[in-house]
């Protein structure tokens, strides 16, 4: 494996807003055994709803445009790193290929933190169980979870299924508008770039980038879990969008329905002048991919496919 030569690396926080809390009582809390009676004042000013962005800039670059990776729901930027079975992830692939890479932890995920202040976010977070991941990620049929029998030809590394589940974090269902706003703020700070969004991140990415023609000439929506409410009035002429899908798309009504909408959206974008492609890998001889394209056993070949698609367009 070749070395990764970085000219720079680091991180920043972007977006968010400030909240003032006043009028609450001081609490006595245990912090360490040497600070067992700390006077915790819940009043004050707080920063909430920011996103965290970690970046890596190779010394030699194959494109002026960096890649921005937006994780899926209940996940963080860690999903782009080492695969659950220990292989280099898409982050390392794009760095070795010579792209500057920005990895976001969007609002409430990972290092972005989340809002624990009262009355700011409605509802409570949900968490993905192993069972839900099994069928939702199209690793196998729900009824075959207990026996851990995957779909025939499955490329997700089954022996690392448990390890993959350690990467799940809580998520709110009310935060997507905040996440779209933070993703837009990140793109504005980074400048012109190619955005790659996975799953919920594919939904967020479409909502963030479709009306940013000056910032995002090309984007990849990998297995998006949602589509834009409308594409009317958007300036997509000459811009490039790839909708990338794995296999087993007929496995559940949820994926049958989503796939139909994804195909329709790609066609509607193309009708408005975009270079928009719906690419279901299994229809082109690449079978066995789960929802977790960047973790499957051919993840590096898929990254190379995405890389080629990008370099032909920007």
The CA distance from 240 to 236, in Å, is: 8
Q: Which is nearer to its own copies, 150 or 226 (CB)?
A: 226
Minimum CB distance to its own copies smaller for 93 or for 288 = 93
CA-wise closest residue to 98 among 311, 293, 305? 311
Q: Within 13 Å of residue 18, how many CA atoms lie on the same side as its CB?
A: 4
- CB nearer to its own copies: give 6 or 314: 6
Work out how close the CB of 3 gets to its own copies at its nearest, in angstroms, rounded to a whole number: 5
Smallest gap from Cβ 312 to its own copies, in A, equals 28
Q: Which is nearer to its own copies, 59 or 271 (CB)?
A: 59
Helix (H) or strand (E) holding 94: helix 90-97
**Residue 262 Cβ vs its own copies, minimum distance, rounded to whole Å:** 9
Query: Strand 27-29 to strand 38-40: parallel, antiparallel, or no bridges (unpaired)?
Result: antiparallel
Tally of CA atoms within 13 A in the half-sphere of 296 that contains its CB = 24
User: For residue 38, what are the contacts with CB-CB under 8 A and spacing of at least 6?
Assistant: 28, 29, 30, 31
We find the least distance from the C-beta atom of residue 13 to its own copies, in angstroms, to be 4
Instruction: For residue 150, give every residue at least 6 positions away whose Cβ sits within 8 Å of its Cβ, in sequence order, or none.
Output: 139, 140, 144, 156, 158
Minimum distance from CB of 45 to its own copies (Å)?
A: 4
Closest approach of its own copies to the CB of residue 132, in Å? 6
| Comparison of 7 and 308: residue with beta carbon closer to its own copies | 7
- Output the CA torsion 134→136→141→145 (10° steps): 20
Nearer to its own copies among residue 226 and residue 246 (C-beta): 226
> Encoding tokens for residue 22?
């006043």
């Amino acid at each position: 494996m070749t070395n990764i030569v970085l000219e720079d690396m680091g991180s920043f926080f972007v977006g968010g807003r400030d909240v003032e809390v006043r009028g609450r009582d001081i609490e006595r809390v245990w912090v360490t055994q040497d600070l067992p009676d700390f006077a915790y004042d819940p009043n004050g000013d707080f920063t909430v709803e920011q996103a965290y962005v970690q970046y890596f800039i190779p010394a030699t670059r194959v494109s002026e445009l960096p890649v921005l990776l937006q994780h899926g729901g209940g996940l963080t930027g860690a999903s782009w790193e080492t695969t659950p079975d220990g292989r280099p992830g898409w982050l390392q692939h794009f760095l070795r290929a010579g792209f500057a890479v920005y990895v976001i932890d969007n609002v409430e995920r990972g290092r972005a933190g989340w809002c624990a202040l009262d009355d700011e976010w409605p509802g409570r977070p949900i968490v993905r169980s192993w069972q839900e991941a099994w069928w939702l990620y199209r690793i196998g049929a729900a009824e075959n979870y207990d026996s851990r029998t995957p779909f025939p030809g499955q490329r997700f590394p089954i022996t690392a299924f448990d390890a993959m589940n350690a990467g799940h974090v809580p998520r709110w269902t009310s935060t997507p508008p905040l996440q779209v706003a933070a993703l837009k703020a990140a793109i504005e700070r980074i400048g012109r770039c190619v955005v790659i969004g996975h799953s919920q991140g594919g939904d967020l990415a479409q909502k963030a980038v479709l009306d940013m023609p000056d910032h995002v000439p090309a984007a990849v929506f990998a297995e998006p879990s949602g589509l834009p409410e409308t594409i009317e009035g958007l300036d997509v002429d000459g811009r490039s969008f790839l909708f990338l899908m794995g296999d087993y798309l007929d496995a559940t009504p949820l994926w049958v329905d989503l796939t139909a909408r994804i195909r329709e959206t790609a066609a509607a974008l193309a009708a408005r002048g975009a270079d928009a492609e719906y690419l279901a890998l299994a229809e082109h001889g690449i079978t066995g991919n789960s929802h977790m394209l960047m973790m499957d056993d051919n993840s590096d070949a898929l990254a190379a496919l995405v890389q080629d698609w990008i370099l032909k367009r920007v």
